[in-house]
Structure 1
Amino acid sequence: MRLLVIDGNSIANRAFFGIKLLTTKDGRYTNAIYGFLNILLSLLKECEPDEVAVAFDLKAPTFRHKMYDGYKATRHGMPEELAQQMPVLKELLADLGYREVTAEGWEADDILGTLAAACAARRDDCFLATGDRDSLQLVSDTTTVLLAATVMGRSKTVTMDVDAIQEKYGIQPRQLIEVKSLMGDTSDNIPGVRGIGEKTALALVQKFGTLENVYANIDDKLIKPKQREHLLECKADAELSHLLGTIRTDAPIDTAEGAYKVGEGNKAAAVKLLQELEIHSLIPRFGLDGVAPAADPETLPAVEGSVDVLPLTPSGHYLLAARPAVTGKQGTKNVVLQPEAWYAVQDTTVYPLSDDALVRLLDDPAVTLDVFDSAPLYALAMAHGGWGSSIVWDGKLAAYLLDASASKYQVSELLTSYKAQAAFTCEAWPDAGSLADLFARMKAEITARDEDALYNEIEFPLAQVLADMTRTGILVDRDGIEAFGLRMRSELSEVLARIHMETGSASFNPNSPKQLGEMLFDTMGLPHGKKTQRGWSTDAETLESLRDYPLVEDILQYRAYQKLNSTYVEGLLKVIGEDGRIHSTFNQTEARTGRLSSDNPNLQNIPIRTELGSQLRAYFIAKPGCVLVDADYSQIELRILAHITGDEHMQQAFLNGEDIHRSTAAKIYGIPQEEVTSRLRSSAKAINFGIMYGKGAYSLAKDIGVTVKEADAFLKNYLAAFPKVSGYMDKTIADAKAVGYVSTLFGRRRALPELASSNFNVRSSGERMARNTPIQGTAADVIKLAMVRVWKRLRDEKMESRLILTVHDELIVEAPQAEAEKAAQILREEMEGCVQYAVPLSTDVHAGKNWLEAH
């Protein structure tokens, strides 16, 4: 028999601090629950146990507290965000069939010890999963500790058996009690012996075996005079520490074989609770994907719906959604077991849709469609010469607007989140009956949050724009990219040859962090930074600080050439379509700030900061007879900052067309603008942008190359010179803490549960997001609105010009040469005129045969 015993509090604690704060749509914390269940699944796979027990501590004092008032007196209380999750976790474990084990007056460690001893008596295998090293004393021939640890910033389970203890500590597991009695334990406030740390304690136990034998040999030469003095002074503390540090094996709990077999639990309740917690991904992993969630008592029975064939001449309003594809394995291959299937709902009738019927619906003037996920529908319509004009609303976009922090949006999960009621039941299409209520609830919430304009004027029309941009794509010069790749590979060979000559080793691999660290810092003795468990850190920041050394400069060049070749040259060549164009997919529902992203390929990351990288843009070209017209917002986030804070100096600088960074430096130092040096301007530029991201003196110091003290003084001077900026930032954080979210000027919300965290670092991260999101998010809203207006204008004026690309604050139109001037005018008018703020928006517009020339 094989028993797995989980230290519930310890693993939950690890999960909580190991995963960023996660919350449900209604604000319940879930990160500890999600992390714990993932760890549980990993343990089940690793151990394949016959029985599972989950031990938890109780709040009541234990016998150790009664023995010593100071026991665990220095421990901080459980964070409230974790405390709220503990009862829910226990309820969920019970529903999943796992038995909780507690004993008043005893600790979870003692439960682990008692169950391990019972297994040992039966010669059964026992696995103890914990993050507490105290349990290592329980390791034996039958007991293995699965220690949850953090290695290189990542969670990892370390298997500790008798051999592992011997290798790490040079003693037997039970002797760890003797070590603890000497060195004490600050986390549990166990005193030990003053002046004796782990190294000395281990040496004494390796030599004498036990605490008793240490005192029996107190005059041995191994014990130094000062140590001897401390040992004699603290003998009572050492003996008390021995008692406190010994895990008991006689806790009053059930130890019978079979007592902890995983039961049936309440699977329907487990599914319901996982859905309510929005942890949908774990439902199939626990084998519950075929289980219907427990019904709410107040839920009324639904009528039976019907399935019919869509009329040849459909009319009226329909709800449109897709049953997602189901994948599985055949041997080692992933295969589609059930393809995606679209269906339409009208009243209580469900119409499964063929491709032809679906296309017919999308542009039928007698039909209006509320859909879930318009992007593929617009793409389908456009592929057949239409525009998807029947689509009037998109539930996926609504879900994103209402909760931008979700990792994905699926109908089945949203039905639970919104507690949507079924108007009818349909076995073949189980979600169909609830669509109407789901959509109605989402529409009502958007209205209640005053986000109707944001949805109707920006998010919804933008989906059609993005579909058209993906369909159109951008032409590339394949031959030019291939030639650039040849150049990169030639440069790589040359720089690698130099690296091998400089290191004196033809086998040196610059891609190996371990080899690189040893070469730079051990062999060559260069100044080094932090050392990790795997060796010296050779991250970009470390190497940049050593750029003056020729070898390091070559290493950085090697990395740059390698990235350009592998990520961009090889990556771009793979995704060129048959028409010679790249059709990047634009993602509208990913970024929490409202920004767009793209993939296959990610055109947002095409390099521009380096001369070599920016040359890639030369291979994005206009088709014959056309030019690319590129319009880029000038300092849009700073202009929004000036508007949002109401700072008169910043506003006046923009209104006068001044250099905002030079103007800022002059204001901070009280000098005329003509006396501002390039160094002062660079510092002002760094702080102008840094203030929006909540950067402190330390980060600012690194950005502008000064001491932290100088950066701190510079920061204070800035905030004194621009009190309205400082006041706005403080008020934004205070308001966000009060309501739990921040908003853009368009009303887009971003929930910030981090602001309520008891953890300083998490809370500080939330404050940085609170400062930046209203500004960056408003800029994202502005560029989206501009895209909608530019696209509509080009279409309404029946121009051949097409909006084909957006990257951050930049829009690109491919225009026939004869339309280029008018396209540039439309870009400027719509981008600068889409909002009216206290300072004007400004665009830089240029045209060229390729992206590099046009930018």
Structure 2
Amino acid sequence: MTAPKPVLLVDGSSWLHRAFNALPPLSTKNGEPTGALFGVLNMLRRLLADYRPDYLAVVFDAPGKTFRHDLFTAYKAQRPPLDPQLIQQIQPLHDCVRALGLPLLQVAGVEADDVIGTLTQQATERGFSVLIVSGDKDLTQLVGEKVRMLDTMKNVVTDVAGVEQKFGVPPALMVDWLALVGDTADNIPGVPGVGAVTAAKWLRQHGSLDALMAGAADISGKIGDKLRAGLAQLPLSRQLATLDCQVPLPLAFEGLRPTPPDTAALRMLYQRYEFRAWLRELAVEAPERISTAPDTTALEQPTPNSAVATDDGPTTYEIILEQVAFDGWLGRLQTADLFAFDTETTSLNYLEAQIVGVSFAISPRQAAYVPLAHDYPGAPDQLNREQILERLRSLLEDPARPKLGQNLKYDSHVLANHGIALNGIRHDTLLQSYVLDSTARHDLDSLAERHLNLRTIHFEDVAGKGAKQLTFNQVSLEQAGPYAAEDADVTLRLHHCLWPNVEREPGLRWLYEEIEIPLIAVLTAMERVGVQVDAAHLRQQSSELAKRIWELEQQAYELAGERFNLASPKQLQAILFERMRLPAGKKTATGQTSTAEDVLQELALTYPLPRVILEHRTLSKLKSTYTDRLPEQIQRRTGRVHTSYHQAVTSTGRLSSSDPNLQNIPIRTLEGRRIRQAFVPEAGWVMLAADYSQIELRIMAHLSDDPGLLSAFRTGADVHRATAAEVFGVDLAAVSAEQRRSAKAINFGLIYGMSPFGLAQQLGIERSAARDYVERYFARYPRVKVYMEETRRQAAERGYVETVFGRRLYLPDIRSRNAQRRQAAERAAINAPMQGTAADIIKRAMLGVDRWLRESSFPARMLMQVHDELVFEVAEAKADQAEECIRAVMVGAADLRVPLEVDVGIGANWDEAH
């Protein structure tokens, strides 16, 4: 018997406030605000698609005071009045929720939390489980065996264990915990000076607030005095924090069943608030069906959950098991102007993955899956994999036959594993989405939901999750066929949606066609070559690191006066801020005192234990990530390590890498350099590293067109020394090492939007002196300041900035009402064009070097791209010639107002070369 679905209780007021503060201030052409309205409805639609509840309530706070105001007149008194733009969106949201057919509850005199508490009790008494959709800690007191909380903003589900892990007490003690800690948002007093950790410790020791109050006389120290001073107000604080779960409700429990949407009302609302994609969805009168063609296995497939079409016509997905059906598709592919192609495989590891099947689409809503290696018990006979791939070879290898895919770099690897070189990559929807908006998510499922209003069949839907997840060859054709065919179909439909947007912007089209698409082949080649590492060297370093880490642990125990887990933030909080009473810094999102790296770095300037903790963290991470892990990542077949480069992850256009991440190996520490020493060439070859010199400063000079900066770079001067001479008003020859260090901090700090306060911290000087340095800098380089101010202004107007090559870098928080987010976006607006242009330049350099290597058959291989550096393996006898040619190509990758410079090093390992 199937268990009943959980009752969903949505904290609508919490969602509305969070969406209003988190999302951009969208508005209609008539100026009506819609950002929070859109955000809440989007989350609500996704929730309905994911859970399809039988019972649901969307609960809002009613206007006016509640019974808590009668108990405590200062309750929530410190809250500012609601923003008028938020108020304008409340009634439209209520109208939309009701039009969707969803029960909406508001009860005067109580809060939404009390209504949710009452509904939770009613549901559990009827044997239902409950999912409370909220991130509000006040509701954690309701969590129990049948009650969980879902925070959709963080995609986190919290159960009893989760509450205890997060707050240090079980749900049954959360009211007592809230009473002790208080709540500044609601103005619940609490006990001044008692934080989350202390409150949890006391409650665990005493078992309840009542027992703690009874034993308050035994609590020693100043904290005990604070508890005793606050005893009188604790009962009131607990009463304010306790939810009323006996609220009389205006509808019976059966009234929580959703009803069919009011399409006419929704259409009017979506038209008024300009939700065009949802309007198009309303035009679809019936959900799409997925079936197979009569001449295949004729396996009827269910519709994917909440799949909603944006274009008309039936969907037909074929599972091809017969040669005649394959021949028909092959003929159509050979004459198609463009076709979408996808592989299904045994593994995500691109070097190990073997093809299980291939799928194709030529026209929207028509796709085919050719299973080739499903081997589960009872699997039907399939076409021979080797024969089918050989039939496809000429088509896939023909550069004149345009192909389309989603992340075709992976498919290129998989085909290469079977001896096929994929050519003719014309389009990749992953990269189309990336050049349109690098800050978005670019996976197929997210793109389909965002651009097609379609919830695709997810891999977990057919293969399961966790330890029991199947590999694709074990998935039945009844499930595998629609999933695989849909991948090709959705990719084609996304292309029809995204490509016109790229095509109409000449700069974006050039970036896509001249940089991103050609780079797929370059990155594929680099990944397949890999890089050789000295496993023995790394194991020796691991042994030495283990010894040093143990020594640091002993030193930390001695400084703390007790043993503790150095990797536990909770234990570290207790040691540093409760036992040793070090000055606390910022708080975490859960209200805990932070032990983040920047907090410890500030404390380390004065106290020894934080210094030890920081070194322990650094060495432990190096050991686990690199010296232990790299030897395990050596491929047995190649004897080398093969990273994965990602084109569509960073917002600035820079490449990132994983498994292993080559971008984060330190270069300024001895331990980091020793790891780099393990990267070695094959016998008879050397390592060559080519690194752009001060490229972002040169880009700043180009963008700002400042005469002073331009002159420094054009004359080949030491730009930091030249800046020091300008800022401090001394001759170049008289610049001291300290002055040059300060000028370097200013040069690079301004690129990253550093304030005078940040500069003062970095240089260890007074803030007034740092402000004076910045003012002098701008006086000497006035065009830099003009450029920065103009960039901020344009970013606020357009919502994005651009690189020299036209890459757009969107800044979602540039108009945020939250000053901290807005200022961070403004700093990013200054830096992003420089980082993004540097990313474009090194990608152009990679394309140029790859072209030279292929055309000249030069004995060299491009191995790695790390920040502004390219690393090669070169035949030793040709090293000098390689240095000359690689430098020339990299210098010529961009034509700026100042010359590019490239530092080239050659050595027996990466560290020596750099």
So what's the TM-score if we normalise by structure 1? 0.74
Whether the 8 Å contact between 2:313 and 2:365 is mirrored in structure 1 is no
Whether the aligned pair in 2 keeps the contact of 1:126 and 1:142 (CA below 8 Å) is no
Match of residue 645 from structure 1: 704
Contact 1:79–1:758 (CA under 8 A) maintained in structure 2:
no
Select which of 238, 260, 283 maps to 2:256.
260
- Superposition RMSD in Å: 5.5
The 2-side partners of 1:347 and 1:130 are apart by: 39
- Corresponding residue to 1:834 among 865, 882, 893: 893
Partner of 1:542: 600
Note the C-alpha offset of 1:392. 2.9
- 1:484 aligns to 2:541 (yes or no): yes
- SS of 1:777's partner is helix
Q: CA deviation at 1:258?
A: 1.7
CA distance in 1, matches of 2:536, 2:393: 37
2:838 corresponds to which of 779, 801, 804? 779
Residue 459 of structure 2 corresponds to which residue in structure 1? Answer: none
Q: In the alignment, does 2:377 pair up with 1:321?
A: no
Q: How far did residue 52 of structure 1 move?
A: 3.5
Matching of residue 291 in structure 1 with residue 305 in structure 2: yes
Look up the equivalent residue of 1:429 and give its one-letter code: A
Q: Work out the CA distance in 1 between the residues paired with 2:516 and 2:702.
A: 23
Query: Per-residue displacement from partner, 1:44-76 (whole Å, max 9, x unpaired)?
Result: 99xxx9854222247x77899x999x9979634
Q: What is the Cα deviation at residue 808 of structure 1? A: 0.4
Give, in whole Å, the separation in 2 of the partners of 1:28 and 1:349. 36
Q: Distance in 1 between matches of 2:145 and 2:431?
A: 55
C-alpha offsets along residues 368-427 of structure 1, whole Å, 9 cap, x if unaligned? 32333220233245445564233233232222111212223217834861689xxxxx97
- Partner Cα separation in structure 2 for residue 120 and residue 623 of structure 1: 67
User: Across the two proteins, how many residue pairs are aligned to each other?
Assistant: 767
Aligned twin of 2:618: 560
2:516 is the counterpart of 1:459: yes
Partner of 1:570: 628
In 1: Cα distance, 2:443 partner to 2:25 partner? 16
116-125 or 463-472, which moves further after superposition?
A: 116-125
Distance 1:419 1:169 in 2: 45
Report the counterpart of residue 737 of structure 1 in structure 2: 796
Judged with a 3 Å threshold, the aligned counterparts in structure 2 of structure 1 residues 733 and 540 are, in CA distance, closer, same or farther, namely: closer
Report the residue type matching 1:77 in the other structure. L
Matches within 5 A, 1:363-378: 363-364=397-398, 367-378=401-412
Alpha-carbon offset, residue 484 of structure 1: 1.6
Q: Hey, what does 1:854 align to over in structure 2?
A: 913
CA pair 750-326 structure 1, distance change in 2 beyond 3 A: farther
Query: Are 2:401 and 2:424, in contact at CA under 8 Å, matched by a contact in 1?
Result: yes
> Does residue 1:607 correspond to 2:666, yes or no?
yes
**Could you say which structure has the larger radius of gyration?**
1
Amino acid at match of 2:897: A
- CA spacing shift, 1:199–1:40, aligned 2, 3 Å: farther
Q: Say yes or no: does 1:804 pair with 2:863.
A: yes
Q: Cα distance, 1:33 vs. partner?
A: 5.6
User: Equivalent residue for 1:597?
Assistant: 656
Q: What is the aligned counterpart of 2:313 among 293, 301, 316?
A: 301
Q: Is the 8 A contact 1:359 1:381 kept in 2?
A: no
Question: Are the aligned partners of 1:275 and 1:413 in contact in 2 as well (CA < 8 Å)?
Answer: no
Map 1:690-709 → 2, pairs under 5 A = 690-709=749-768
The secondary structure found in structure 2 opposite 1:815 is strand
**What is the CA–CA distance in structure 1 between the aligned matches of 2:78 and 2:178, rounded to whole Å?**
30
Check 1:161–1:690 CA distance in 2 against 1; reply closer, same or farther (3 A cut). closer
- Residue 764 of structure 1 corresponds to which residue in structure 2? 823
* Structure 2 contact 49–305 (Cα < 8 Å) conserved: no
The amino acid of 1:758's aligned partner reads: R
Deviation of the 1:540 alpha carbon: 5.3
Write the distance in 2 (CA, Å) between the matches of 1:737 and 1:728.
14
Summarize deviations over 1:98-136 as a string: whole Å, max 9, x none.
Answer: 411246999757866987999999999999877779999
CA contact (8 A) 1:518 1:536 kept: no
Structure 1 position 697, deviation (Å): 2.1
Question: How far apart in 2 are the matches of 1:552 and 1:582?
Answer: 35
Q: CA deviation at 1:455?
A: 1.4
Letter in 1 for 2:661: N
Asked if 1:581 is matched to 2:640, the reply is: yes
- 1:101 match: 105
Aligned partner (choices 738, 758, 782) of residue 723 of structure 1: 782
In 1, the alpha carbon distance for the partners of 2:61 and 2:759 equals: 45
* Equivalent residue letter for 2:313: P
Identify which range, 604-613 or 359-368, moves more after superposition: 359-368
* Structure 1 residue 260, shift from structure 2 partner: 1.5
Aligned counterparts of 2:414 and 2:144: Cα–Cα separation in 1: 64
Q: Which residue in the other structure is 1:343 paired with? A: 360
Contact 2:277 2:453 in 1 (8 A): no
Post-superposition offset of 1:789: 0.5
Stretch moving more, 746-755 or 399-408: 399-408
Distance 1:735 1:670, change over 3 A: same
Following superposition, the deviation at residue 574 of structure 1 comes to 1.4
Please say if residues 305 and 349 of structure 1, whose CA atoms lie closer than 8 Å, have aligned partners that are also in contact.
Answer: yes
- Are the counterparts in 2 of residues 115 and 255 from structure 1 also a CA contact under 8 Å? no
Q: Secondary structure at the match of 1:706?
A: coil
Do the aligned partners of 1:665 and 1:681 also contact (CA within 8 Å) in 2?
A: yes
Q: How many angstroms apart in 1 are the aligned matches of 2:124 and 2:398?
A: 74
Identify the residue that residue 504 of structure 2 maps to in structure 1: 448
Deviations, residues 551-597 of structure 1 (Å, cap 9, x unaligned): 55544443333222222111111111122211111111111110001
Instruction: Give the aligned partner of residue 872 of structure 2.
Output: 813
Contact 1:127 1:146 in 2 (8 A): yes
Do 1:120 and 1:142's aligned partners in 2 also have CA atoms closer than 8 Å? Answer: no
User: 2:20 & 2:876 partners in 1: Cα distance?
Assistant: 59
Letter in 2 for 1:694: G
Q: Which amino acid aligns with 2:430?
A: K
> Corresponding residue for 2:733?
674
8 Å CA contact 2:143, 2:149 repeated in 1: no
2:13 corresponds in structure 1 to: 9
- Equivalent residue, structure 1, for 2:477: none
Alpha-carbon distance in 2 for matches of 1:551, 1:63? 49
The more displaced of 396-405 and 311-320 is: 311-320
Q: Is the 8 A contact 1:415 1:438 kept in 2?
A: no
8 A Cα contact 1:147 1:160, kept in partner: no
SS at 1:754's partner residue? coil
Asked if the contact 1:815–1:823 (Cα under 8 Å) also holds between the matched residues in 2, the reply is yes
- Deviation, 1:659, is 1.1
Question: 1:408 is aligned with what amino acid?
Answer: H
Secondary structure, in 3 states, of the residue corresponding to 2:426? strand
Contact 2:792 2:829 in 1 (8 A): yes
Q: Does 1:394 align with 2:428?
A: yes
Provide closer, same or farther for how the CA distance between residues 84 and 823 of structure 1 changes in structure 2, counting only shifts above 3 A: farther
- Segments of 5+ residues of structure 1 without an aligned counterpart are 171-175, 191-195, 201-205, 208-226, 232-243, 328-335, 421-425
Distance 1:668 1:819, change over 3 A: same
Distance 1:402 1:11, change over 3 A: closer
Per-residue Cα deviation, 1:478-517 (whole angstroms, up to 9, x for no partner)? 1111122222223334444455566665x45444445555
Tell me which of 461, 474, 489 is aligned to 2:531. Answer: 474
Q: Distance in 2 between matches of 1:140 and 1:496?
A: 38
- CA distance change for structure 1 residues 62 and 359 in 2, over 3 Å: closer, same or farther? farther
CA–CA distance in structure 2, aligned partners of residues 343 and 147 of structure 1? 38
| 2:523 aligned counterpart, secondary structure | helix
Structure-2 change in CA distance of 1:78 and 1:341 (3 Å)? farther
* Alpha-carbon separation, structure 1, partners of 2:173 and 2:582: 38
